[in-house]
Chains A and B, each alone.
Chain A
Amino acid sequence: MKTTPADVALIIGLALIIGTLYARYWSPNAAPPTHALIRVDDAPARRVPLHVNDRIVVTGRLGDSVLEVRDGRIRFASSPCRRKVCIRSGWMHDAHDATACLPNRVTLSLAAADPHYDGVSQ
């Protein structure tokens, strides 16, 4: 089965489109996050800018969780939970990264400038 010139043109065109999509969605730091969303229990999310180094204390069901913002990244520095899964997940730095301290009912997610959604499940 031979390809015609039109086949080749069509395949090259599609490959270019797909290549552009790879460049757009697979290049690192395509859209750096601008702020973090911190939620405690069912309370509305608190927006924390990532360009200001800071330590944020939020009070959950078990006690205070401390979040540390440094150089556009954020992590759980301490939390009163037992297994410290939130602390072990380390620094969050890409848009849509998320972690949580479930025992303390604190969730943390990173968002770019204009999110069109209000929830992320990963």
Chain B
Amino acid sequence: MTRRIHLHAGPRDHWIAGFAALAIVIHILEAGVPTPIPGIKPGLANVITLVVLLRHDLLAAIWVQLLRVLVGSVLIGSFLTPTFLLSLSGALCSLAILALLIGWNRLLPPARVGPIGLGVAAACAHMGGQFFVAYTAFIPHPGLLTLLPVLLTAAMLFGALTGWLAGALCLRLDNNPDAAVPAR
């Protein structure tokens, strides 16, 4: 006897998949753009993660982020390569810092961290986590540390950009009656 398992995708699963698909497309487009220094890229896919975090909840943002890393790497062909491990460790670190800041915002609403702060913190955590793994697991050479401040500067700039974009996008979505927020 085989037992059938039915998996029902609810509306929440559908919109999470939709946001993840958007993030994956941006991720793949960005992977095709050459960068001047290895390790530096805008990370615009994180705009989607931030929008989901700001308009929905942390759990949905975690889903979107991890689906993006997983499916993005499978489509690009870097699944389980060092690139994937770096991407995953960065994603996990940025999610951890976002969770921390969302908790902070709940505890202290007057001292709220806005989209730009969230973007900057997430980008720097992403870079920091990636760098830590790269340094400890792949290239334990002190010369690599020279690159760290440069990479973090880029992360800060691009983090501010993604945060600003996410905030602006949320404002537009809030004013658009067609973009009704599905039930939380």
Contact = CB atoms under 8 A, between A and B. Distances in A.
B37 to A, nearest CB: 15
Interface stretch (A2-10, A45-53, A65-73, A76-84): A2-10
A26 B113 contact: no
B117 interface: yes
Contacts of B115: 1
Interface in B152-176: 152-153, 156, 160, 163-164, 167-168, 171
Contacts of A3: 114, 116-117
Contact of B113 (A10, A17, A122): A10
A62 interface: no
B149 A26 contact: yes
Contacts of B116: 1, 3, 7, 11
A116 B136 CA distance: 12
B113 A14 contact: no
Contact of B149 (A11, A25, A116, A120): A25
Given A21-B152, A116-B140, A4 B114 contact: yes
Interface string A5-33: 11100110011011001100110000000
A9 to B, nearest CB: 8
B169 to A, nearest CB: 10
B146 interface: yes
A75 interface: no
Nearest to B140: A117
Instruction: Give the size category of B's interface with A.
Output: 20 to 34
B124 interface: yes
Contacts of B142: 95-96, 116-117
B145 interface: yes
B141 interface: yes
B112 interface: yes
B24 to A, nearest CB: 25
A26 B149 CA distance: 9
B149 A22 contact: yes
A17 B121 CA distance: 12
B148 A25 contact: yes
B10 interface: no
B88 interface: no
Given A6-B114, A10-B117, A117-B140, A21 B167 contact: no
13 contacts: A1-B115, A1-B168, A3-B117, A4-B114, A6-B114, A6-B117, A11-B160, A14-B152, A14-B156, A21-B148, A25-B146, A116-B142, A117-B141
Interface of B: 104, 111-117, 120-121, 124, 140-143, 145-146, 148-149, 152-153, 156, 160, 163-164, 167-168, 171
Closest 9 CB pairs of A and B: A7-B117, A21-B149, A1-B167, A4-B114, A6-B113, A22-B149, A10-B117, A6-B111, A25-B146
